[in-house]
Structure 1
């Protein structure tokens, strides 16, 4: 990887870190927030779901906007909203206010989810794009490993509200990074004037593309299973297994290790075996691992180290699926890359929000419902792989 790609990976990775940072850093505080604000576990989980709903839906705005105005202006707009909402979260008086402000926070965070994908497509395609996406995943993967640790280090002496103040400070740094380090990648001559009919037409093209939809939904089911884990992890690890917030942060970091490791070899495997083959085999491994985990838990083998080991293995397969499927889904849609990235992000995060809504209803405080949800997501992903990937054009692999 050349110097320019490394620089781009660091910039886009740090920007992409903002959304996960706002999620992972406050996870250790969820039981405390529930207790402090007198809210139920389900209500506390809604602070995650409201964030993901806005995070997903608003990408439909930022993607087309970045095709019209360029990549940087929508980033400034989104980061401004995100920073102000983070300050509001720090002073939320009730769980209802926190849910509403988390929704607004998601509105701003959506900008740094979809636009970096379009920036990658502006500059690179094929294996170079996959390599860059994987490198960005390397930076983003630091969030679930370090953010909970940072969150627990802040929560113990200063309380959960200080977490959101820290996130607001990180937003200021992201604004400076966008202003001084990120170059505009969409030239004025390449920008498309906003036309509602053209946007609807672009969405129609994407919805009719079974390869695009298959790859997007496969990645979405993987993300949905991880979001179900996010919504239950702190209550399961701290409430059921008795871990401290610091111990929870370490265990949570282990779950990111498998994803982090395999995402770095996705491009090399794609170059050797073909990207579609990598996605197919990785989805199969994900499904087998997730189903075995559910069977083990359902049979009554309630061991915390075993559960963590199985989660690490399951999410290691997702480290191959997510970056490769993201790049492949955009390969054939360069002229509407912003719209394609936005729609893909929206669909995936809506699946994540749905997973959180379902798990918040059925979660019983034990690992059974979580592993069932992960297994279900994996089976759906495997079915989508069998039904749709065979029609993805072969030239999209090269």
Structure 2
């Protein structure tokens, strides 16, 4: 939950930050994009390093740096300083978030791994719903730095739980030498695999179909909906409700429905939901209709997400850390682009936003169907 908490809790404080720093709305979007970009760049290394030294040391080191960076955010006297500490936040937060996926696959396989990944997706999905609401409540107790102090406390709490409750899941005999060569060779092996590339791009664009609403939340809620800093729940409750229900369904169907068929149905639902969203914004561009389509897209995405993640990890049983890193890298780079560049361009109206979401869903579906078409002959052979 650290990733969503770090992104979304600060949204209600954007207006106060803008007043204190004399920053524009577009400049404040960089508070999100800088975090996502540094998260993406460092995500390449967290997984491969965990393949060499073990999962737990990487997670704990990352959490320690994350807490210090978050305290730096709280004490920042200017926007450039805040952005620097946000970059350090992003560089360290991925250690726990990314490596935890490899931990799941270390311990479980098949339907058990699918069910656990779905449960993690449910927990992960709750965070963006809680985060902006919590941020708004915290602002009633003090100025915007109080949000970062609260997140730092959460980081300490998670670090203690990880240190005391999580076992080391990668035994020494399964680790690779701690040298640059093996780390880079593992990354190259994963990155040049065509099946992995197709799955990573399918995941990236399908997820972007709903994530564009999350990173654009300050503009959507305040400018397009005309609401205030306490009203982010209007957007996030339907979005996160869809994610939680979809993840629950995915876990319930694990072992009952063939995984590829489950993704087929999920991406078809995503396309139907995206099309419905565009139609509603053409005819009824207002609440509550403006949140129905995004909620359905989120539901479809979260059904497919656990299967797509495990499919990428299963391609590389000896380089799961590297696979988890590169699987995250593609999505994170595009998410940073969404927050910093695309979001300001597509939030001029609810219709333009809906069309953009539909385009992302179509691209993701195309990559998945391409992958399915190439995999089917191999299976028959």
TM-score range, shorter chain: over 0.9
In structure 2, the residue corresponding to 1:264 is in which secondary structure?
helix
Describe how 1:110-149 pairs up with structure 2 within 5 A: 110-149=94-133
* CA distance in structure 1 between the aligned counterparts of 2:49 and 2:5, rounded to whole angstroms: 24
* CA distance in structure 1 between the aligned counterparts of 2:19 and 2:367, rounded to whole angstroms: 41
* CA distance in structure 2 between the aligned counterparts of 1:217 and 1:103, rounded to whole angstroms: 24
In structure 2, the residue corresponding to 1:110 is in which secondary structure?
helix
Structure 1 partner of 2:255: 271
CA deviations 1:127-147 (Å, max 9, x no partner) are 111100011112222212212
Describe how 1:376-391 pairs up with structure 2 within 5 A: 376-391=359-374
Structure 2 partner of 1:325: 308
Stretches of structure 2 that go unaligned for 5 or more consecutive residues are: none
Aligned length: 379
TM norm structure 1: 0.90
> Is residue 343 of structure 1 aligned with residue 326 of structure 2?
yes
Structure 2 partner of 1:78: 62
* CA distance in structure 2 between the aligned counterparts of 1:260 and 1:106, rounded to whole angstroms: 25
Question: Which of 194-203 and 226-235 deviates more?
Answer: 194-203
Q: CA deviation at 1:392?
A: 4.1
TM norm structure 2: 0.94
* CA distance in structure 2 between the aligned counterparts of 1:68 and 1:243, rounded to whole angstroms: 49
Q: CA 1:395–1:144 in 2, change beyond 3 Å: closer, same or farther? A: farther
* CA distance in structure 1 between the aligned counterparts of 2:378 and 2:313, rounded to whole angstroms: 13
Structure 2 partner of 1:374: 357
Structure 2 partner of 1:69: 53
> Is residue 354 of structure 1 aligned with residue 337 of structure 2?
yes
Describe how 1:42-191 pairs up with structure 2 within 5 A: 42-191=26-175
- Structure 1's consecutive aligned runs of 4 or more residues displaced over 6 angstroms after TM superposition are 393-396
Q: CA 1:68–1:381 in 2, change beyond 3 Å: closer, same or farther? A: same
* CA distance in structure 1 between the aligned counterparts of 2:20 and 2:258, rounded to whole angstroms: 51
Q: CA deviation at 1:273?
A: 2.5
Structure 2 partner of 1:18: 2
* CA distance in structure 1 between the aligned counterparts of 2:97 and 2:27, rounded to whole angstroms: 25
Stretches of structure 1 that go unaligned for 5 or more consecutive residues are: 1-16
Structure 1 partner of 2:273: 289
CA deviations 1:270-299 (Å, max 9, x no partner) are 4222111111221121122113312432x3
Does the 8 A contact of 2:62 with 2:92 survive in 1?
yes
* CA distance in structure 2 between the aligned counterparts of 1:360 and 1:96, rounded to whole angstroms: 21
RMSD value, Cα: 2.0
* CA distance in structure 2 between the aligned counterparts of 1:134 and 1:346, rounded to whole angstroms: 20
* CA distance in structure 2 between the aligned counterparts of 1:279 and 1:266, rounded to whole angstroms: 10
The one of 251, 272, 286 aligned to 2:235: 251
CA deviations 1:208-239 (Å, max 9, x no partner) are 33332222221111333333222221222123
Question: Which of 235-244 and 131-140 deviates more?
Answer: 235-244
Does the 8 A contact of 2:242 with 2:295 survive in 1?
yes
Does the 8 A contact of 2:206 with 2:365 survive in 1?
no
Does the 8 A contact of 1:227 with 1:353 survive in 2?
no
CA deviations 1:10-30 (Å, max 9, x no partner) are xxxxxxx11111112112222
Structure 2 partner of 1:306: 289
